[in-house]
Amino acid sequence: MLKMLEKNDFQEIQSWVHRNARPLEYTLWKFHFESGSIEDVLAALAVYQNDDGGFGKILEPDNWNPESTPYNTEFAINILKQVGFYDLTHPIYRGILKHLEDTIYQGFSGWFFTVPGNNVYPHAIWWTHNEKENNEHQNIGITASLSGFILRHTEPEIKLYNKALEYTEMLFDKLSSDDNYGDMGLLGYCSLYEDLKETELHDRFDLKFLKEKTSLMIEEHFHEYVWTNHQDLATVLPTTSVFYYKGKEQVVANALDELINIRPSQGVWGIPWEWYDNGLYVREFAISENWWKSYKTIEKVLFIREHGRLRME
């Protein structure tokens, strides 16, 4: 029998989020599970937007650098996508597009994963800036995700669209000639595929190759993700793309059973990482950890609901 997240379980999670979440995650929770409004999410998200249009101010809880970074800006876009908001005439999007066009944190290989200012503020070890080590491969995922979004939702007449075209050509070349795509390259390429298939660029880019390559990468790493990090299975695969799950239904079902089973009573799931900073930022990580719990809990409950495992009657 399938394990279900029952109504009383949901109410315990709901209570924890109400008590602990930042305003942003609180409004996201309300949007997804309590008929909250997009306007409230936008207002909470706008607090993290800088004057240059980019996002910082600890939007991503593991990096306390307040300045705008491409990754934080992609993080903001993903929140907007999560709530289905795509009005690019809105000030929040106008700022995003301006930042992505103007930011100094971009180069031949894409938008940068880390920036020098990270080193001044509390952060997880992977946000420590080292230009070669952090931006040679780790920028692949963010560049793929941003490029796909731009090509799908903006117009060919703007300069940023052409930049995204150039980056996408580079990303296809890497996919053919390299096997190191960084920690987030897989999800970035999956996102790129999802966006490109909704455009008129089929003749320019080999989407069949992109789909086959991402499917192969998922096949190679799927069981590793499930059994070593099953709590984040919700973020390993795009839940909108059924083909990524084909042949893995039982593994996903078992992971969902386990996910529901391990939730602490009266609370929410923990996060399966730390900052690996030798205790340099103990206080800051404790705060970051609590912020992440709310964000990741929303992902998990959405994942559970999308797979028919939430029972509210």
Residue range 225-260, pLDDT digits in tens: 555 554 455 555 544 455 566 777 887 888 888 889
Among 117, 176, 103, 167, smallest CA distance to 140 is for 167
Among 52, 31, 34, smallest CA distance to 103 is for 52
Angle between helices 185-196 and 139-153 (to 10 degrees): 10
How many whole angstroms separate alpha carbon 271 and alpha carbon 292?
7
Q: In the chain, which residue ranges form alpha helices assigned H by DSSP? A: 7-20, 23-33, 38-46, 70-82, 91-102, 131-135, 139-153, 159-177, 185-196, 207-229, 233-236, 249-261, 282-306
The whole model's pTM is what?
0.94
- Residue 133's pLDDT is 61
More confident residue, 130 or 107: 107
How many whole angstroms separate alpha carbon 8 and alpha carbon 182?
40
Q: What is the pLDDT of residues 4-38, one digit of tens each?
A: 999 999 999 999 999 999 999 999 999 999 999 99
Mean pLDDT for 32-61 is 98
Task: Identify the three-state secondary structure at position 110.
Answer: strand
How many whole angstroms separate alpha carbon 264 and alpha carbon 270?
9
Mean pLDDT, rounded, of the chain: 91
What is the Cα Rg of the chain in Å? 19
Query: In degrees rounded to 5, what are phi and psi of residue 91?
Result: -55, -35
Domain ranges of the chain: 1-47+229-313, 70-205
- Phi-psi category of residue 255: left, alpha or beta, with phi > 0 → left and psi -120 to 50 → alpha: alpha
Report strand pairing: 106-107 vs 110-111: antiparallel
